[in-house]
């Protein structure tokens, strides 16, 4: 199960621009529908989504190599994929009878998976560099994971 979970997290991390755009679209649609429940999951999702995009745009060296290479080339395909994903989430909410908060809980779980995967894949040299500048949430997550003994997800190179 560990390997498939790691593969799942890796595929999510590779697509976080899609997830960011999707969560933004879901958020916007919820505001239009007046689904403005101020849930912790929605707020956490918005914050994590923005933080992951900040890393992607401003600190690409903290990301796994494949993700940190020039990724500023967001195409219309990302927008289209994000639109499809956000509509799928809305459809799933209606089909399964989820509440708005349950949908945001799923989105937040996906974003936490991405964050922990990226934190474990970042080289310790980059974490040390981030600490010199005041630190990053990503570094704190990696240190916490190491402290808790999540060795299968932490790389000590």
64-121 residue pLDDT tens: 766 655 444 544 465 666 677 777 777 878 888 888 888 888 888 888 888 888 888 8
Query: What is the domain extent for residue 103?
Result: 2-115
37 occurs within a structural domain: yes
12 occurs within a structural domain: yes
150 occurs within a structural domain: no
Counting the structural domains of the chain, the total is 1
Residue with tokens 């498939």: 4
pLDDT per residue over 58-74, tens digit each?
888 888 766 655 444 54
Pick from 86, 137, 90, 85: nearest CA to 114? 137
pLDDT at 138: 92
145 occurs within a structural domain: no
110 occurs within a structural domain: yes
CB atoms within 10 A of CB 138: 23
Higher-pLDDT residue of 53, 25 = 53
16 occurs within a structural domain: yes
Arithmetic mean of pLDDT over the chain? 75
Higher-pLDDT residue of 112, 7 = 112
55 occurs within a structural domain: yes
154 occurs within a structural domain: no
Q: If you average pLDDT over residues 40-55, what whole number do you get?
A: 88
pTM of the model: 0.71
Quick one: which H or E segment has residue 15? Answer: none
Pick from 73, 91, 71: nearest CA to 83? 91
- pLDDT for 5 beyond 60: no
Confidence band of 137 (pLDDT split at 50, 70, 90)? very high
């Amino acid at each position: 199960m560990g390997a498939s979970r790691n593969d799942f997290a890796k595929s999510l991390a590779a697509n976080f621009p899609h997830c960011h755009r999707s969560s933004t679209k879901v958020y916007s649609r919820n505001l239009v529908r007046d689904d403005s429940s101020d849930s912790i999951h929605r707020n956490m999702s918005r914050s994590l989504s923005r933080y992951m995009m900040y890393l992607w745009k401003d600190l690409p060296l903290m990301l796994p190599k494949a993700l940190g290479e020039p990724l500023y080339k967001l195409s219309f395909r990302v927008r289209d994929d994000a639109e499809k994903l956000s509509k799928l989430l809305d459809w799933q909410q209606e089909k399964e009878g989820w509440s708005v908060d349950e949908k945001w809980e799923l989105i937040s779980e996906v974003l936490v998976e991405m964050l922990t995967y990226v934190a474990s894949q970042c080289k310790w040299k980059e974490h040390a560099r981030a600490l010199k500048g005041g630190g990053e949430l990503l570094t704190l997550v990696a240190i916490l994971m190491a402290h808790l003994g999540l060795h299968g997800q932490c790389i000590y190179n």
